[in-house]
């Protein structure tokens, strides 16, 4: 599929808001998986800071550095995918100052990202505006924002409470408006009630991409390792379309057994 379809470009995102074809995004952190998801016809590859929990064995995403993200964006970009490459801005790369935000967004673009993504709403408005002014497309991320792990008290569904507290339904509506006004070209809505995501999507001019946000967003995103059944973890919102962890264990144990029993390498795998 990859060789025949044309390159997905940023202006396509807005076009897809009014089309019936929903956007699809998955994570990838290296060239092999980038080429696999691209061949499958995905629209956007997210080089997510979930690399921390998925690949680095960490409990949260907070420890990922700009150097790590730059490296993984380079790996994905080396696959030259037709899908758009979204580079996640890690915790600490945009919180301290607008200047940091722009400098680090530029680093990700130089590494091969075509859009950068950052988490938050009202409180990251200036960072988004500054990156957009630097001519770098930005994807927002509202609702459950994993970089707010400690404030949220864990990765918990957001938007279930009333009032103006961070994480409340009303505040998430304000967050959606803030990121859109700041100039994002799309935004992720993570782990909020489907009714709230539906309301946000109906009001937004740019596409929304949901994860744990119901069926009415303009697109969906999953972590690839969850989708492929490679993870040990399971989540209510993540569907495993394969069972690669069990298949991989079986394949490697077959290899171990073949080596132990002298069945590998055989004549066809020898010179």
Piece of 42-50, 163-171, 226-234, 235-243 that binds ligand KIV (CB under 6 A): 42-50
Catalytic residues: 190
Q: Name residues whose C-beta falls within 8 Å of residue 227's C-beta, 6 or more positions apart in sequence.
A: 26, 238, 239, 240, 241, 242
Distance CA 63, CA 147 (A): 10
Minimum gap (Å) between residue 253 Cβ and ligand KIV: 30
CA dihedral 153, 158, 159, 165 (to 10 degrees): 30
**Shorter beta-carbon distance to ligand KIV: residue 38 or 190:** 190
Residue 54 beta carbon to ligand KIV: minimum distance, rounded to whole angstroms: 8
* Of the residues 28, 29, 44, 50, which one makes contact with ligand KIV according to CB under 6 A: 50
Interface characters, 180-219, with ligand KIV (x: CB under 6 A): --------x-x--------------------x--------
From 223, 227, 228, 230, residue interacting with ligand KIV (rule: CB under 6 A) = 223
Angle at which helix 169-182 crosses helix 125-133, to 10 degrees, equals 20
Find the helix or strand (DSSP H, E) in which 26 lies. strand 23-27
For 47, 88, 103, 205, the CA distances from 74, given in Å and listed in that order, are 10, 13, 17, 31
- The binding site for ligand KIV (CB under 6 A) comprises 27, 46, 48-50, 88, 141, 188, 190, 211, 221, 223
């Amino acid at each position: 599929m990859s060789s025949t379809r044309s390159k997905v470009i940023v202006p396509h995102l807005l076009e897809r808001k009014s089309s019936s074809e929903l956007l699809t995004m998955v994570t990838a952190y290296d060239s092999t998986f980038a080429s696999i998801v691209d061949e499958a016809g995905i629209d956007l590859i997210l080089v997510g800071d979930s690399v921390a929990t998925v690949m680095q064995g960490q409990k949260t995403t907070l420890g990922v550095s700009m150097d790590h993200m730059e490296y993984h964006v380079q790996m994905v970009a080396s696959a030259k995918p037709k899908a758009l490459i979204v580079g996640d801005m890690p915790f600490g790369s945009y919180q301290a100052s607008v200047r940091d935000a722009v400098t680090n967004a530029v680093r990700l673009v130089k590494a091969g990202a075509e859009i950068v993504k950052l988490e938050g709403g009202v409180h990251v408005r200036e960072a988004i505006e500054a990156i957009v002014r630097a001519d770098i497309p930005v994807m927002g991320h509202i609702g459950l924002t994993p970089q707010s792990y400690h404030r949220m008290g864990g990765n918990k569904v957001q938007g279930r409470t009333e009032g103006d507290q961070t994480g409340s339904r009303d505040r998430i509506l304000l967050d959606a408006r803030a990121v859109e006004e700041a100039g994002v070209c799309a935004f992720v809505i993570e782990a909020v009630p489907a009714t709230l995501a539906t309301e946000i999507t109906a009001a937004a001019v740019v596409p929304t991409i949901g994860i744990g946000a119901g069926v009415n967003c303009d697109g969906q995103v999953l972590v690839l390792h969850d989708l492929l059944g490679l993870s040990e973890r399971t989540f209510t919102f993540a569907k495993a379309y394969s069972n690669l962890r069990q298949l991989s264990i079986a394949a490697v144990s077959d290899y171990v057994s073949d080596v132990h029993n002298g069945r590998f390498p055989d004549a066809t795998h020898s010179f």
